[in-house]
């Protein structure tokens, strides 16, 4: 595995591979890798000849009171995991390489960035869209893979690719991989390490509450009573706040009053101790 931190070196390494007709898959990450990330890597390996994993803790997607400084950074340990998975290139740029002096461009996807996490994290998705657009231009992958746990992020990245006529990857080659969960159902997340043992147990109310809400929604009737029950259950379990517990159209993220014929998802974000946990499930 090559570990590369300079853009010129990355382009040179990938040009050699692409000149031989090999396909490239990109898995963007912020490091602190777990089995969810490694599942993306394995999917990438099945879809392309060359697998590139990026590790970059992106300052532009953190708000002033968020955990940018505390976000776990463990490049050596992450590199060992990736090498064991047969990754070809680890792209680990410095902040200066990603955002050189005078950098003044922002990519924004209006509308999709407003609800859900966007309402509580202003500017967050501008930072996500900007860094992912840069990663796509740097690597120019044939396919890119993202976890479905960050569903709003996935919807925004797909919209960005469509709106900007990206071809590397084309929007249809931006693949969402189902959320990887612990044995008890909690979605894997780098932020789970912030939880105490007691909080970790209480956090199970998140996936179980979503499942219960979906079961109620599938019986028919309005969505709000099921969502209110979900919210109340999370607060009773020990979550200090629930930022949202919504039924949304899977593509447009429009709020829905009930299940219909279009794909929909129940999406939740809630605070447990120091960890802001998000999760979502398909509702139909």
- Please choose, from the candidates 250, 252, 251, 243, the residue with its C-alpha nearest in 3D space to the C-alpha of residue 266: 250
For residue 16 the two structure tokens come to 């050699």
Other CB atoms within 10 A of residue 157 CB: 27
- State the burial class of residue 271 (Cβ atoms within 10 Å of its Cβ: 0-12, 13-18, 19+): middle
Alpha carbons 214 and 283: distance in angstroms, whole number: 6
Other CB atoms within 10 A of residue 215 CB: 11
Alpha carbons 284 and 282: distance in angstroms, whole number: 6
The answer to whether residue 34 is catalytic is: no
Find the catalytic residue in 34, 37, 124, 170. 37
- Please choose, from the candidates 137, 189, 139, 178, the residue with its C-alpha nearest in 3D space to the C-alpha of residue 160: 137
Cis-peptide, bond into residue 169, ω within 30° of zero = yes
Alpha carbons 197 and 235: distance in angstroms, whole number: 18
For residue 122 the two structure tokens come to 């202003």
3-state secondary structure (DSSP) of residue 73: coil
> Which residues are designated catalytic?
37
């Amino acid at each position: 595995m090559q570990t590369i931190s300079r853009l010129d070196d990355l382009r040179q390494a990938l040009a050699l591979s692409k000149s031989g007709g090999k396909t490239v898959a990109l898995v963007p990450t912020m490091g602190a890798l777990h089995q969810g990330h490694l599942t993306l890597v394995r999917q990438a390996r099945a879809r392309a000849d060359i697998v590139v994993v990026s590790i970059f803790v992106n300052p532009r997607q953190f708000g002033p009171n968020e955990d940018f400084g505390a976000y776990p950074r463990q490049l050596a340990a992450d590199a060992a995991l990736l090498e064991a998975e047969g990754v070809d290139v680890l792209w680990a740029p410095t902040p200066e390489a990603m955002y050189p002096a005078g950098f003044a461009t922002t990519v924004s996807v209006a509308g999709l960035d407003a609800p859900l996490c966007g309402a509580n994290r202003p500017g967050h998705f501008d930072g996500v869209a900007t860094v992912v657009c840069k990663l796509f231009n740097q690597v120019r992958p044939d396919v890119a893979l993202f976890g479905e746990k960050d569903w709003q992020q996935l919807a925004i990245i797909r919209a960005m690719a469509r709106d900007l006529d990206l071809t590397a990857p084309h929007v249809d080659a931006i693949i969402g991989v189902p959320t990887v969960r612990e044995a008890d159902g909690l979605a894997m997340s780098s932020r789970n390490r912030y939880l105490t043992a007691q909080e970790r147990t209480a956090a199970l109310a998140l996936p179980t509450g979503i499942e219960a809400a979906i079961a109620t929604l599938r019986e028919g009737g309005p969505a709000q009573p099921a969502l209110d029950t979900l919210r109340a259950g999370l607060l009773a379990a020990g979550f200090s706040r629930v930022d949202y517990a919504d039924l949304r159209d899977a593509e447009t993220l429009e709020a829905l009053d009930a299940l219909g014929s279009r794909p929909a998802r129940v999406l939740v974000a809630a605070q447990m101790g120091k960890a802001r946990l998000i999760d979502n499930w398909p509702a139909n």
